[in-house]
Structure 1
Amino acid sequence: MDQEMRRKEKAMSKEETLEVLEQAEYGVLATISGDDTPYAVPMNFVYVGDVIYFHCALEGHRLENIKGNNSVCLNVVDSVVLMPEKFNTQYRSVTAFGTISIVENEEEKRKGIKAIADKLSPEFPKEGMEYINSAFHNMHVLRMDVTKMTGKATRG
């Protein structure tokens, strides 16, 4: 996807774009079904380098889509403030494009799920590791290799 951002004055810096990814609790991951129907689902994630990790069940519609077409898009929104008097909304958003795969390497899988737990439950490291160890073989970790990412903000 090579389309440029239309409202360039709303573009965020790379630093602010990464800040949104680091702080956001979830994003909406869009995949493509075998019949070319889009499918989008909210998911927890963590950004590590140029990779985004997710976790999910061992089966489901999203996994079937990924197996058929690994092109995905992730949209994340934070800092939402409705401004009804201005008929507008203040927000920051990130849209990331890339390819996604199921992590097969056990070491990378553990790294990805631990990074998610560290992000979402930093005050419970011991309990997080216990949960990871008990559920490790009952989940997939997905790896999204980011090929393009844009950040956009509408401010007061």
Structure 2
Amino acid sequence: MRRNEFEMTDKQELDQFLNEMSFGFLGTSSDDDYPSITPLNFVYCNDSIYFHGSRVGEKMTNLAARPKVTFNVAKEYAVIPSYFTDPVFACPATSFFKSVIIYGQAVIVEDLKEKALVLQALMTKLQPEGGHKPITGDDPEYRGRLKGVSIVRIDAERIVGKFKFGQNKKEEELASVVDGLLNRDGEYDAETIELMRKYCPHFKSSDN
């Protein structure tokens, strides 16, 4: 990564972010040599990314032929206007975000118990209120459905995390950004300030 100050290597931080998120982008290689991007829901279990879908289709064809994939999850917390730190030039305009890119091998899951575990975890994430019969691998009412659905596991070989929250900014710039966020009071602005406090080495003195 070109800017080391934004690199996130702490596994606990990466795991927490992946567990919070439910939507990502799968990158595969197609027959025509164009990269293919598929947006989809996912769940992070046992250090692997899982997603489900039909047994047929472009992504499954690509995975069968070329199982090396990438998977990206990102969340933008705040757009930082240039005028927060510079009243004239547009150059300082940026955004603060978290992003994780996973490089790995896609594996088609056939074990019904593993399939059930993944689908139940996905339901717990997307439908935490319940309202459905729990999914188990030994339930005869689910067995046919489990056999019919495709579950893919991405076994990570490399994970690149980038958490950008102004770590490269000076104390006075951070103070100006905080003032701008407080005055704007957008949906994620208060959370962004807390993340700046957490990740920025110069933030403490700007919080006086």
Q: TM-score, normalised by structure 2?
A: 0.66
* 1:151 maps onto 2:161 in alignment: yes
Per-residue deviation at 1:125? 5.5
- Considering fraction of residues, name the structure with more strand: 1
- Picking from 107, 113, 116, the partner of 1:110 is 116
- Picking from 141, 145, 148, the partner of 2:151 is 141
* Alpha-carbon distance change, 81 to 132 in structure 1, aligned in 2, over 3 angstroms: farther
Tell me which residue corresponds to 2:75: 78
The answer on whether the counterparts of 1:17 and 1:150 sit within 8 Å (CA) in structure 2 is no
User: 1:90 & 1:20 partners in 2: Cα distance?
Assistant: 15
Unmatched runs of 5 consecutive residues or more in structure 1: none
* 1:49 maps onto 2:32 in alignment: no
Per-residue deviation at 1:11? 1.1
User: 1:108 & 1:53 partners in 2: Cα distance?
Assistant: 10
The answer on whether the counterparts of 1:114 and 1:132 sit within 8 Å (CA) in structure 2 is no
How many aligned residue pairs are there?
Answer: 152
User: 2:38 & 2:73 partners in 1: Cα distance?
Assistant: 12
CA-based RMSD:
2.2
Per-residue deviation at 1:136? 3.0
Specify which structure has the bigger relative contact order, considering alpha-carbon pairs within 8 angstroms and separated by 6 or more residues.
1
Percent identical among aligned pairs is 32
User: 2:41 & 2:122 partners in 1: Cα distance?
Assistant: 8
Tell me which residue corresponds to 1:126: 132
User: 1:134 & 1:113 partners in 2: Cα distance?
Assistant: 14
The answer on whether the counterparts of 2:112 and 2:146 sit within 8 Å (CA) in structure 1 is no
Give the secondary-structure state (helix, strand or coil) at the position aligned to 2:97. Answer: strand
Give the secondary-structure state (helix, strand or coil) at the position aligned to 2:26. Answer: strand
Q: TM-score, normalised by structure 1?
A: 0.87
User: 2:145 & 2:94 partners in 1: Cα distance?
Assistant: 43
The answer on whether the counterparts of 1:121 and 1:128 sit within 8 Å (CA) in structure 2 is no
Per-residue deviation at 1:133? 6.6
User: 1:152 & 1:14 partners in 2: Cα distance?
Assistant: 12
Per-residue deviation at 1:35? 3.0
Per-residue deviation, residues 26-63 of structure 1 (Å, max 9, x unmatched): 11010011232210111111111221110111211000
The answer on whether the counterparts of 2:49 and 2:154 sit within 8 Å (CA) in structure 1 is yes
Give the secondary-structure state (helix, strand or coil) at the position aligned to 2:33. Answer: coil
Per-residue deviation at 1:132? 6.3
Tell me which residue corresponds to 2:103: 97
